[in-house]
Structure 1
Amino acid sequence: MSEDVGEAAATAPSTPSTPSTPDPSAPSEPEPRPEAEAAHDTVEAAVRAQLAKALGGVRGMVEAAVPTLAFTGTYVGTDEIKTAVAAGVGAAVVLLLVRIAQRSNPQFVLNSLVGIGIAAFFALRSGKAEDAFLPGILLNAGYAVAMIFSIAVRWPVVGFIIGSVTGDPTAWRSDPGILKLCMRLTWLLVLPCAVRVAVQYPIYLADGDQSGLLGAAKIVMGWPLQVAALAAMLWLLARGRTPIERDEDPVLNPRDS
Structure 2
Amino acid sequence: MSETPERDSGPTEPGEGQLSGTDAGSTGPARADADTAAAAPARAESLTDLLGGRRGAIDATLPPLAFAVGWLLGGESLWGGVGAALAVGAVVAGVRLRRGDRPRSVLIGLLAVCVAALVAVRTGRAEDFFLIQVLSNAASALAWTVSIVVRWPLLGVLVGAVLGQRARWRRDPVLLRGYGRASWVWAATYLLRVAVFVPLYLGGQVLALVVARVALTWPLVAAALALSWVVLRRSLPAGHPGLRHPVAPPR
Range of TM-score over shorter length = 0.7 to 0.9
Match of 1:105 in 2: 101
Match of 1:199 among 185, 196, 200: 196
**Residues 40 and 188 (structure 1), Cα distance of their counterparts in 2 relative to 1, 3 Å cut:** farther
CA RMSD of aligned residues (A): 3.0
Contact 2:50–2:162 (Cα < 8 Å) also in 1: no
Q: CA deviation at 1:228?
A: 1.2
Q: Does 1:139 align with 2:116?
A: no
State the partner residue of 2:24. none
Q: Secondary structure at the match of 1:37?
A: coil
1:118-197 to structure 2, matched below 5 A, reads: 118-164=115-161, 167-197=164-194
In structure 2, the CA distance between the partners of 1:35 and 1:221, relative to structure 1 (3 Å rule), is closer
Task: Tell me by how many angstroms 1:141 deviates.
Answer: 0.5
CA contact (8 A) 2:48 2:226 kept: no
The list of structure 1 runs, each at least 4 consecutive aligned residues, that deviate by more than 4 angstroms after superposition, is 39-42, 44-48, 106-109, 165-168, 237-241
Change (3 A) 1:85 1:166: closer
Residues 155 and 85 of structure 1: CA distance in aligned 2, closer, same or farther (over 3 Å): same
SS at match of 2:122: helix
Asked if 1:214 corresponds to 2:245, the answer is no
Q: Is residue 232 of structure 2 the alignment partner of residue 234 of structure 1?
A: no
After superposition, the C-alpha distances for 1:180-216 in whole angstroms (9 at most, x for unaligned) are: 100112111111111010111112112xx42111111
The match for 1:70 is: 66
Contact 1:72 1:212 in 2 (8 A): yes
User: TM (normalized to structure 1)?
Assistant: 0.71
Identity rate, percent:
34
- Gaps of at least 5 residues in structure 2 are 1-10, 19-41
Offset at residue 62 of structure 1 (A): 2.7
| Contact 2:62–2:88 (Cα < 8 Å) also in 1 | yes
- TM-score normalised over the length of structure 2: 0.72
| Equivalent residue, structure 2, for 1:91 | 88
What is the CA–CA distance in structure 2 between the aligned matches of 1:166 and 1:71, rounded to whole Å?
37
Judge conservation of contact 1:67–1:116 (CA < 8 Å) in 2: yes
Letter in 2 for 1:75: W
Q: Number of residue pairs matched? A: 211
Can you list the C-alpha shifts for 1:3-59, whole angstroms capped at 9, x where unaligned?
xxxxxxxxxxxxxxxxxxxxxxxxxxxxxxx975345986x947553322xx1x3x3
CA offsets per residue over residues 99-157 of structure 1, 9 Å max, x none?
A: 44x45226565443222111101100000000110110100000110110111111111
Higher radius of gyration, 1 or 2 = 1
